[in-house]
Structure 1
Amino acid sequence: MESSFSRYAMLAAITAGHVGLLLSMSHAAQPAQPPQPLPMEMVTIPAPPAPDIRPQPPATAKTASPKPRKAAPAPRPLPAPAKPSPKAITTDTRAEAVTSKTPAVAEAPVASRSEPAPPAPPAPVVPPTHAGGHLDNPRPVYPPLSIELGESGRVGLRVVVTTEGRAIDVSLSQSSGFPRLDRAALQAVRNWRFRPAMRGNVPIQYPHSFFIEFDLSKA
């Protein structure tokens, strides 16, 4: 405890000595003197010398005097325009009337040779048909056993009609549910005649789909 007290006392003494030294130095510093004005001297600048103006000598006799220029000739007056005769006026008026009455002819556009004309669209197709009394197509034979068993229904068929009106590639597109009725319809259609499809005035081969109905009331 005594040693720590002695240290604090020593530090306090050192600090007090420094503070006293700083205070003495601040009192000993001299006050700043105000700035003094600089002395000024008057200097006399001499005036510039006067310019040397001398008269030029007169021109000698050899110097040629300039020749007077000739005046430009006055422009000649233009002749008065001739008055048109009454005949000329009448002719011009008729020509203008004929020009105004003539209709303007429009120039025809020149067809481009590099761009060919687009092809014409194909003619619509008229599909084939099996209906019509002139074809004389017999009705399919109703199977007797189907009548006894009460079988009826619609048979869907698909055929390809040639250009001569014959049926090729006959197939079943929808069954009636009874094989006897389906077979009777296929057998009858293979011998039928059709009116071929037409594209414009040309017959073409074309597919055709239709139904055959087996009705007991019509058997």
Structure 2
Amino acid sequence: MYAESRYTPPKSRAVSLGAAFAINGLILAGLIFSAPEFVKKKIPPVFEAGTYFDPPPPPPIEPPKPQPRTDAPKATAPLPNLPNPLVKTLTENHIEGTTTIYPPQPPLEPAKADPGPIAQPEPLKAAPPLIGAARDARYAEDFQPAYPSSELRAQRDGSVKVRVLIGTNGRVKAVEQVDATSQAFFEATRRQALARWRFKPASRGGVAEESWMTLSVRFELKNQ
């Protein structure tokens, strides 16, 4: 009776060993890469609390003391004889002095006794008020001037305002135009004022004075 025996070629064993080593290598590599990493943690330094003071300031630096001079001053050469810078000039302004001694002045008189309070002047009296001029009622009919013929033909009314200077005798000395409808109305008023107007002159303290007065005159056709 023969026992069964199988023949295994040597090549297949070598392949099996290689595969076993490869599998073991892969398992070992997986264990190495899957293992956790251990990293040392850095522990921060511990500072102890305490009181610190600034260092004292350095001592002041003293300035260097001046050293006495040991070298003797050098002798200077004498200056040469220079010409006098002052130039004499001729002048005609001769100043003459005097040797006359004037006599001493007499002593001052002693102060006089206090004469007492000085009398105050009387206050000036206020000037009397000015009383203005006024029309003289006795010459009221002579106030209205004659109607100018040119304005009468034109059938035109008018008005005149004049400023008159009244003398101390009550008569008009000058006439100034303030406003007028026409030159014809003003000329008629001016002639009438110089010839016929009479006033009571202005006065101050009973003394007559010249004064100015403004008057108005109307010319109306209904009064002709």
- Give the TM-score, by structure 1 length: 0.45
Larger Rg: 2
More helix by share: 1
